[in-house]
């Protein structure tokens, strides 16, 4: 049976690398039109070239609402619709204890990790029909405090609440809202965490992290009715039963 994503238009933030790039490849392979959003203009242009005519690269800073609004309008102008938004863009830097944290840098992390999620939700809703899906990349840090991660834990906790608010307000109108907590993934972010040497996550070996292709496959599954039981909540990719269901091993 043709996959439900075939012909759908999917916008992915933070698409230049890691989970975002892997998700773009996965969704494109399933027949979706993919709109690549990131600040790294060259990286998303290269990825768009790799994926072909069903990909559109739009340089965008998610912390700026008007840039997100223009990017989503470009998606609709190019492909005729906006069916799925993956709120993947996020930063872990600067890792610092509260007494040493730089206020401007702390605030900037919120601009991306939280305000960027709001901007994408707000800009997407006018374009979305019933059945549209908005997924946030969540984290165990949304519910567990970690040394040096006050900016990350707090912003991810607030972003999780945004997903829940979206479900509360728009679920009865057919907008599907849910989150994915992937666990630790072998991406550049984990290299930054490792180099910080702060809290137990930095002590993990590279082999402890899952490949970015795993959350990409989970995100594709989350766009199907099979994931409707999780609407308004967070799916943990640490769940061994879910991994088995998605054949991730």
65 belongs to the catalytic site = no
Q: What is the pLDDT of residue 65?
A: 98
Q: Domain boundaries in the chain?
A: 9-243
pLDDT tens digits along 163-184: 999 999 999 999 999 999 998 8
Q: What is the pLDDT of residue 82?
A: 98
Collect the ranges in the chain with pLDDT lower than 50. 1
Residue 244 makes CB contacts below 8 A (sequence gap 6+) with: none
pTM: 0.94
Among the listed residues 110, 149, 152, 214, the single catalytic one is 152
Q: What is the pLDDT of residue 1?
A: 34
* Bond prior to 119 in cis (omega within 30° of 0): no
- Rounded to the nearest 10 degrees, the angle between the axes of helix 65-79 and helix 116-124 is 40
| 9-243 CATH | 3.40.50.720
Task: List the one residue out of 86, 111, 116, 89 whose CA is nearest residue 177.
Answer: 86
55-59, strands of its sheet edge to edge: 55-59, 33-38, 9-13, 84-87, 133-137, 176-181, 234-236
Q: What is the pLDDT of residue 47?
A: 97
Q: What is the pLDDT of residue 206?
A: 76
- 218 contacts 246 by C-beta, under 8 angstroms: yes
């Amino acid at each position: 049976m043709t996959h439900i994503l075939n012909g759908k238009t999917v916008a992915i933030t933070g698409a230049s690398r890691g989970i975002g790039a892997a998700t773009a490849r996965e969704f494109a392979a399933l027949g979706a039109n993919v709109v690549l959003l990131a600040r790294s203009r060259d990286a998303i242009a290269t990825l768009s070239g790799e994926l072909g005519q069903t990909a559109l690269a739009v340089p965008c800073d998610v912390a700026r609402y008007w840039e997100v609004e223009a990017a989503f309008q470009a998606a609709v102008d190019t492909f005729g619709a906006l069916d799925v938004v993956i709120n993947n863009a996020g930063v872990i830097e600067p890792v610092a204890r509260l007494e040493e944290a730089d206020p401007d840098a702390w605030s900037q992390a919120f601009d991306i990790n939280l305000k960027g999620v709001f901007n994408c939700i707000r800009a997407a809703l006018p374009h979305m029909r019933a059945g549209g899906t908005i997924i946030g990349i969540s984290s165990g840090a949304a519910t567990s405090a970690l040394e040096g991660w006050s900016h990350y834990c707090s912003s991810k906790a607030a972003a999780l609440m945004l997903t829940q608010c979206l479900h509360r307000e728009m679920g009865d109108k057919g907008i599907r809202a849910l989150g994915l907590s992937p666990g630790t993934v072998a991406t550049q972010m984990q290299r930054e965490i490792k180099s910080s040497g702060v809290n137990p996550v930095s002590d993990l070996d590279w082999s402890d992290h899952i490949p970015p292709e795993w959350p990409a496959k989970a995100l594709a599954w989350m766009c199907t009715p099979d994931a409707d039981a999780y609407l308004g909540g967070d799916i943990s990719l640490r769940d061994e039963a879910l991994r088995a269901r998605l054949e991730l091993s």
